[in-house]
Structure 1
Amino acid sequence: MSTTTATEPPSTPSQILIPSLPNDIALNILAGIPRSYHPLLTLVSKPFRSLLSSPLFYTTRSLLNTSQHFLYLCLRIPTTSSMQWFMLYQKPTKNSLIPLPPAPSPLVGSAFVAVGPKIYVIGGSINDIPSPHVWALDCRFHRWEAVPSMRISREFAAAGVVDGRIYVIGGCVVDTWAKSRNWAEVFDPKTEKWDSVDSGKDDFLREKWMHGSAVVNERIYVMADRNGVVYEPKTKKWDSVDRGLDLGWRGRACVVDGILYCYDYVGNIRGFDVRTGVWKELRVVEKQLPKFLCGATMANVGGKLVVVWERKGNVNEMEVWCAEIEVEENGEGELWGRVEWCDAVHKVPMGSSIVHCLAVSM
């Protein structure tokens, strides 16, 4: 397994891409082709294959606004010690999960965030020993890279991205000066440096072990066993989470158009509007989702609410199901959702579990 970063190519391809066309024009044409066709493009020629494996190609896609959003899913499978990662491959006939290289370390209780084309796996524990280690999956090339370690070890921490920087909160018991000072840290992917975040002098806040987090309007909302906290990096201010949000937030959530979605006690999807402090049930039309979804988690994939859950399959098998929902708030403030597709996307051995899912743009 490679854990090195791809070498930056020259500013323009060194070989002719399309005869009779300047390379910069050819590059712009190729960058506009959907990623689902990239495997076929690599078969056309060696220059095509070289270009599609370079950061230059994905930078061009981003500049031309032709980047696409993809769902990545992490599963824990009993037959392997490492977390197994998959990418959702959407086709007109059948959506399915494509297996990727496993994570380098069998960590439990890691935090996950996506920044650009990379997924960061932060902390966790091995044999109940918390770790400061961080790994990144470069989704352009599906390679793992080592990232500078945090200042302290963490497990079951919260993480969120604001302005391209990764904030990690909690995941440790404040029993030393170092843990107190670094209870919250921030990582800048550009400089690859960690810095401590001042969490104030309230020890009660710093003793939290986190089970959920989300970023709404550039504020990081973090949930613990009791109550929660919110941090605004722009003003560097900490505050308590709204009591209504605290009482209604259960499980893994995501944010679409400023609304935080999660499942309630009876298996309905609900959305919390931080502007009004009110929970609203998502009214799904046309197709109905099953209640009491086991292992359900959610992600914002290109502005769509994508829900992933576990369902018992054949003997000794578990099915991974996925649904894509277009959500909107009507003129009366109600939340409506239309299921665009819903299907089983993978089968794994019984005893497997969904760890996390998140979206990547590239």
Structure 2
Amino acid sequence: MKSETEPSEKKDKNLNPSLSLFSLPDDIVLNCIARISTSYYPKLSLVSKTFASLISSYELYKTRCLQNTYEEILHVCLQFPMDRRPSWFSLWLKPNQTLTNDLERKEKSSRNALLVQIRSSYCPHRPKFMFMVGSEWYAINQYGYPASDLSVYKSGIWDWREAPNMTVARGEDVIAGVLNDKIYVMGGCSKDESKNWAEVFDTNTQTWESLPDPGVQLRCSPLRKIEVWGKKIYVISSKRIEYDVYDTKEGRWEVEVQSPMFEFSCVIENVRYYYGNKGFLWYDEKLKDWRTINGLSVLVRHCRGGSGKIEMADYSGKLLMIWDKYKQYKHHPEKKIWCALIAFEKRNNDDEVWGKVEWANIVLTVPNSCVLLSSEIRAV
């Protein structure tokens, strides 16, 4: 009996090597890839053209959202001195590692977190903007080329429907923000488009309305982001020395003196946090005043000694911060780019805010002349 079963077992073993992930339908492969951390995607995309195509597809993004396995990834835009165009990097966190606070380490960085350049062969496909209004998600610019589509799906079920289109197609340089159930969209179209350069979508009436023309100066300026403060929409530009502000109550544009408040600040769970000459501050809505955040003195000292350029983002309810720091001795050709994650805690009946650096690492070494342009958090 034993001799009769052996050939069958050997035959089965010989068949196994022929079975591979490539022989499965794409939807099953997508389901498998969606369960893997995005930290592995850059290397996985090198395995084959099929993997590279699936990893960069919009279908993978939808599958990850459906399975609730999507991750928030920091993307950073850097301008190198010899390059004509800026370069995009994503924050790579070493899988299965405990990240450390290297702010006071004298030895080399642990290198558990790095900025990795996004290659053209690996470009994850996801909407540039996704806003949750009520129980629905709205997605803008999800194709990578100028489009007027506005997609929406109900939270909890991946059932996309198309909302009314924007009046003009908008590209990657579009900016958007939400205030009082309305989505404000600006730029990303021709600089001569004065009538519909800025428009607003009312999620209650499901209608678009054009905003007044802000003027040729703003339309021709490189846009960075929209900040919402009170009932006003602040448009942040890379070259304007003033803020262009749309007053939603009055329905008109105005100009305000530029303040670093929006440059080095971030809103997390309805609290605005800010870094400036006085260190880290938080805005007390009850007192209508800025107050000091306790527990971050080491981080404050470390942030000084760089170009002064700092980027902040809401990272799952915590503050993700990126900045550059020059070498201690003069004329060194390189500088370090740091990244840190800070958690906040309210104490003493919400009268105090304390911060704790959960981890901080050197994520990239660049030439001194390299410029940190912008950053953003995207769900992938």
Q: TM-score, normalised by structure 1?
A: 0.61
SS at match of 1:71: strand
Q: Secondary structure at the match of 1:214?
A: strand
Gaps of 5+ in 2: 1-20, 98-109, 130-140, 149-165, 203-207
Q: 1:350 Cα shift?
A: 1.7
Equivalent runs, 1:129-168 vs 2, <5 Å: 145-148=144-147, 159-162=175-178, 167-168=185-186
Secondary structure of 1:283's counterpart equals coil
Aligned to 1:83: 86
Does 1:257 pair with 2:269? yes
CA distance in structure 2 between the aligned counterparts of 1:359 and 1:327, rounded to whole angstroms: 19
CA distance in 1, matches of 2:23, 2:354: 51
* Offset at residue 80 of structure 1 (A): 0.9
Q: Which of 291, 308, 321 pairs up with 1:307? A: 321
- 1:128 maps to what in 2? none
Q: Tell me, what secondary structure is at the counterpart of 1:147?
A: coil
Distance 1:59 1:227, change over 3 A: closer
Cα separation, 2, equivalents of 1:145 and 1:324: 29
Rounded to whole Å, the distance in 1 between the matches of 2:378 and 2:297 is 28
Choose the corresponding residue for 1:197, options 177, 187, 210. 210
| Structure 1 runs not aligned, ≥5 long | 1-12, 103-115, 121-135, 139-143, 189-194
Check the 8 A contact 2:273/2:282 in 1, yes or no: yes
Aligned residue number for residue 117 of structure 2: 99
Provide the secondary structure at the position in 2 that maps to 1:284. coil
Matching residue of 2:5: none
- Relative to 1, partners in 2 of residues 1:197 and 1:271: Cα closer, same or farther, differing over 3 Å? farther
> Which among 263, 280, 292 is matched to residue 291 of structure 2?
280
Matches within 5 A, 1:187-226: 197-199=210-212, 213-215=226-228, 220-222=233-235
* Contact 2:335 2:367 (8 Å CA) reproduced: yes
Q: Does 1:37 align with 2:37?
A: no
User: For the Cα contact (< 8 Å) 1:228–1:246, is it kept in 2?
Assistant: no
Q: CA deviation at 1:86?
A: 0.6
Q: How far apart, in 2, do the equivalents of 1:260 and 1:325 lie?
A: 14
Q: Is the 8 A contact 1:325 1:337 kept in 2?
A: yes
Write out per-residue CA displacement over residues 145-170 of structure 1, whole angstroms, 9 at most, x where no aligned residue.
33259999xxxx99333379562279
Distance 2:286 2:185 in 1: 23
Q: Which amino acid aligns with 1:96?
A: L
Question: Which residue identity does 1:66 align to in structure 2?
Answer: T
State the aligned residue count: 292
Secondary structure in structure 2 of the residue aligned to 1:79: coil
2:126 to 105, 117, 123: 117
Deviation track 1:329-358 (CA, whole Å, cap 9, x = no partner) reads 333232221111112111111211100011
- Per-residue CA deviation, residues 216-275 of structure 1 (Å, 9 max, x unaligned), is 69974446756763555xx8956989x9x98672534322112222322x1512233567
Name the Cα RMSD after superposition.
Answer: 5.0
Alpha-carbon spacing, 1:41–1:328, altered in 2? closer, same or farther (3 Å):
same
Q: Is the Cα contact below 8 Å between 2:90 and 2:118 reproduced in 1?
A: yes
Deviations 1:162-183 (A, max 9, x none): 379562279999xx9x63x446
Q: Which amino acid aligns with 1:254?
A: C
Percent identity over the alignment?
27
Q: Which residue in 2 is equivalent to 1:327?
A: 344
**Contact map agreement 2:76 2:376 (CA 8 A) in 1:** yes
Q: Is the 8 A contact 1:73 1:87 kept in 2?
A: yes
Q: 1:40 to 1:97 in 2, by over 3 A?
A: closer
Q: Distance in 1 between matches of 2:91 and 2:333?
A: 23
Residue identity opposite 1:263 in structure 2: Y
| Superimposed CA distance per residue, residues 279-311 of structure 1 (whole angstroms, 9 cap, x where no aligned partner) | 222223585332545211211122221111111
2:309 is aligned to 295
The letter for the 2-side match of 1:199 is P
SS at match of 1:335: strand
Hey, what's the Cα distance between the residues in 2 that align with 1:348 and 1:197? 43
Provide TM-score, normalisation by structure 2. 0.59
Shift of 1:360: 0.7
* Structure exhibiting the larger radius of gyration computed from Cα positions: 2
Could you tell me which residue of structure 2 aligns to residue 270 of structure 1?
Answer: 281
